[in-house]
Amino acid sequence: MSSSQTSAIGCQGRVTSTGEIRPGRVGEVMVAIRGGVEAFLARDADDGSIAPYEEIVVVDEVAPQTVLVTRLYGSAPPSQES
């Protein structure tokens, strides 16, 4: 998706160092959007937990500056093995 788009849906980002997402609680993510990076409150789309620094993708916007996200790589990042 283009970083100049106005909707956050489909944009990628990362959970902030203090913004862990937990079941029933919002966390904080930084999302690449509109040619920059913006902070959003976030909930896991599956009502699970997403740890700090994990990469995410936005799947829905539920309110201004509040999004539903899911892990970009499922439960674990891809292996870096050669």
Q: Which domains are assigned to the chain?
A: 12-71 (2.40.50.140)
The whole-model pTM stands at: 0.81
Q: What is the DSSP letter of 76?
A: S
- Identify the pLDDT of residue 1: 47
Give pLDDT, residue 2: 46
43: tokens are 């909930």
Q: What's the average pLDDT block by block, 10 residues per block, for the chain (82 residues)?
A: 72 96 96 95 96 97 95 66 52
Alpha carbon distance 64, 34 (integer Å): 15
Q: For residue 29, what are the CA distances in angstroms to 18, 76, 81?
A: 10, 18, 28
Half-sphere exposure of 10 (CA within 13 A, CB side): 8
First vs last Cα of the chain: how many Å apart?
Answer: 28
Q: Please tell me the predicted confidence (pLDDT) of residue 4.
A: 53
Q: What is the pLDDT of residue 6?
A: 84
